[in-house]
């Protein structure tokens, strides 16, 4: 197949990336070793009063690896990390990987049932956490209930002023500090790029979360793909300060910020939680040069009182990911920042490399750009994923590349169902233009069938975001006796905004949406459900509405 038909984006945008550079495949410990060797005195991590250079980071990783090895951790074991954005995360992450172990990430916002499921499913018997109150409480509960055998607790006060609490030490619960062996020597495991490095659990949109098996090759390929992109914004390896407020236990921050940032020798400014005022202050005082966030973070920054008077001029790169950015919000942010918002698309299962916006091209609602080097993307028919569709036809996005995961942990049938002809079926609905630029229409599972028409919640959400009083919105499909399904909008309003009625909203949307897309119901809420990474969760609202319908039917 010719390049023009299989990868039209290469011919349309020859200077967007170094298309012919081979994708580098290796292991994650080697990735860190290269960064340490290339710039040992460069600052690597900043957290509160602590600042570690690359040599110090490498030394702490080696010391902890030695202690973990003495504790019996080795090749094939799973170590659960239950950590926020503190230096303990990258240190424990690379230390366990050096021994040939795999990582299972737990989220600080996981419910106890989800935590228990992930440690049981992954086979993790060892858990590493810190003494943040909620994390410590949940970690101790996992131990008390027999879900894990050992809990190692890092004292957050090691890095300066802290809100960490005292730990009730007992058998099986010990200080992580005990594992930092001064000699830092251990028999380093033989690791293959094909070995599983991380079990990254998906959001669990249907049933309990599944563990995506991501290999060392997947991650190093992703980093190589990112580095092959021609940055138009002047980011220089070894000279950048990157705000890291996205959670490192999430695939987006793990790959795009931590792994890419360390490979480039840049400094990561760690924040354990998102606080809009604190982030803006750090950008001003530390002259941060890059920030990546999810749309909800950017919305919070845009709505921060007095933001137009703050000095954000040091930022060279501003990007959004993890969920579609509402188009109206994107334009408002670009006016505020004085530069284009970067973005793209990816998934847990793609490590998460996928597409990147071409900054010279005009933006439009849902546009996600073109694939990175080494990635093949195509649109396939919803009713037959083996049938490839042409330009502007709407179907499911399918992807293949060295960044695509090995499959779902202990779920061979789910893995088989996820692939067709070597391509992973993403569940995202989209289209491609003649240049090879892709646009997301919606999630396959979110699509509403109203009076026989396909209705896409993202399109309705984008229109509602244009309302000046709307802060955030989620649109889902609800049962409708006449149409089968209709759209319902859940909205939070900006501070001080007047009450919004369904009639007023429909009047505002009259020239923005078709009759079949118009919301049939509106619910104003103080807040909307979101994932640990800050992504708005339509699934929670769907479950609520389904429960209401089931209760009503039972009456």
Residues 183-227 have pLDDT tens digits of: 666 778 999 999 999 999 985 444 578 999 999 999 999 999 999
Lowest mean pLDDT segment, chosen from 26-30, 114-118, 428-432, 544-548: 544-548
Domain edge (last residue) among 191, 206, 236: 191
Q: Is residue 335 part of a domain?
A: no
Domain edge (last residue) among 191, 213, 235: 191
Domain edge (last residue) among 159, 191, 223: 191
Q: Is-contact 445 427, C-beta < 8 A?
A: yes
- Which DSSP letter does residue 255 get? I
The domain that holds 39 is classified in CATH as 3.40.50.980
Where is pLDDT greater, at 5 or 217? Answer: 217
What is the DSSP secondary-structure string of 422-453?
TEEEEEEEEEE-TTS-EEEEEEGGG-EEETTE
- Give the pLDDT confidence score for residue 53 in this predicted structure: 98
Q: Is residue 464 part of a domain?
A: yes
Number of domains in the chain: 2
Q: Is residue 35 part of a domain?
A: yes
Taking residues 89-116, report their average pLDDT. Answer: 92
What is the DSSP secondary-structure string of 313-335?
TT-SEEEE-SSPPPHHHHHHHHH
Q: Is residue 360 part of a domain?
A: no
- Give the pLDDT confidence score for residue 4 in this predicted structure: 40
Q: Is residue 324 part of a domain?
A: no
- Give the pLDDT confidence score for residue 27 in this predicted structure: 98
- Give the pLDDT confidence score for residue 453 in this predicted structure: 63
Q: Is residue 170 part of a domain?
A: yes
Q: Is residue 413 part of a domain?
A: no
Inform me whether the pLDDT recorded for 5 exceeds 70: no
Q: Which residues contact 328 (CB under 8 A, 6 or more apart)?
A: 462, 465, 466
Give the pLDDT band (50/70/90) at residue 3: very low
Q: Is residue 124 part of a domain?
A: yes
Q: What is the pTM of this model?
A: 0.83
Give the pLDDT band (50/70/90) at residue 38: very high
Packing angle of the helix pair 327-337, 295-302 (nearest 10 deg): 50
Maximum separation of any 2 CA atoms in the chain, in Å = 72
The domain that holds 546 is classified in CATH as 3.30.300.30
Mean of per-residue pLDDT scores for the chain:
91
- Give the pLDDT confidence score for residue 205 in this predicted structure: 40
Which domain range does residue 128 map to?
Answer: 28-191
């Amino acid at each position: 197949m010719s390049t023009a038909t299989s990868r039209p984006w290469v011919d349309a945008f020859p200077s967007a990336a170094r298309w012919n550079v081979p994708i580098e495949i290796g292991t994650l410990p080697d990735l860190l070793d290269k960064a340490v060797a290339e710039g040992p005195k460069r600052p690597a991590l900043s957290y509160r009063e602590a600042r570690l250079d690359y040599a110090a980071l490498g030394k702490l990783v080696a010391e902890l690896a030695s202690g973990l090895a003495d504790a019996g951790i080795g090749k094939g074991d799973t170590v659960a990390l239950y950590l926020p954005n503190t230096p303990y995360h990258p240190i424990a992450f690379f230390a366990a990987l050096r021994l040939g172990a795999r990582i299972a990430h737990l989220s600080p916002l996981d419910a106890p049932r989800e935590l228990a499921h992930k440690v049981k499913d992954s086979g993790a018997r060892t858990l590493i956490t810190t003494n943040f109150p909620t994390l410590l409480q949940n970690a101790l509960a996992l131990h008390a209930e027999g879900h894990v055998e050992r809990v190692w607790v890092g004292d957050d006060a090691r890095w300066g002023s802290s809100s960490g609490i005292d730990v009730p030490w007992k058998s099986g619960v010990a200080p992580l500090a005990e594992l930092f062996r001064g000699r830092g020597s251990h028999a380093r495991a033989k690791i293959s790029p094909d070995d599983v490095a991380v079990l990254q659990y998906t959001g669990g949109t249907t049933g309990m979360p599944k563990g995506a098996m991501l290999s060392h090759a997947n991650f190093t390929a992703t980093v190589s793909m990112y580095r092959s992109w021609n940055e138009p914004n002047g980011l220089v390896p070894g000279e950048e300060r990157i705000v890291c407020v996205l959670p490192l236990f999430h695939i987006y921050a793990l790959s795009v910020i931590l792994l890419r940032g360390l490979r480039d020798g840049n400094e990561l400014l760690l924040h354990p939680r998102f606080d809009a005022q604190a982030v803006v202050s750090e950008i001003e005082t530390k002259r941060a040069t890059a920030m990546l966030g999810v749309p909800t973070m950017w919305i919070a920054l845009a709505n921060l009182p007095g933001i137009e008077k703050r000095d954000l001029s040091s930022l060279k790169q501003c990007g959004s990911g993890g969920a579609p950015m509402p188009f109206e919000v994107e334009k408002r942010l670009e006016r505020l920042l004085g530069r284009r918002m970067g973005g793209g698309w990816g998934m847990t299962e793609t490590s998460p490399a996928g597409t990147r916006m071409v900054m010279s091209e005009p933006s439009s609602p849902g546009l996600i750009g073109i694939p990175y080097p080494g990635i093949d993307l195509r649109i396939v028919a919803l009713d037959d994923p083996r049938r490839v569709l042409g330009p502007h036809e709407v179907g499911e996005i399918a992807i293949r590349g060295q960044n695509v995961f090995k499959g779902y942990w202990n779920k061979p049938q789910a893995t088989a169902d996820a692939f067709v002809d070597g391509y992973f079926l993403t569940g995202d609905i989209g289209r491609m233009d003649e240049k090879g630029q892709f646009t997301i229409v919606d999630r396959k599972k979110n699509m509403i069938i109203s009076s026989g028409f396909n209705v896409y919640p993202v399109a309705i959400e984008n229109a509602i975001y244009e309302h000046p009083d709307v802060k955030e919105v989620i649109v889902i499909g609800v049962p409708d006796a006449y149409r089968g399904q209709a759209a319902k909008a859940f909205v939070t309003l900006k501070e001080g905004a007047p009450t919004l009625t369904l009639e007023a909203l429909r009047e505002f949307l009259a020239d923005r949406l078709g009759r079949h897309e118009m919301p049939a119901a509106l619910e104003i809420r103080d807040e909307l459900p979101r994932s640990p990474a800050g992504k708005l969760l339509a699934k929670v609202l769907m479950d609520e509405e389904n429960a209401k319908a089931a209760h009503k039917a039972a009456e």
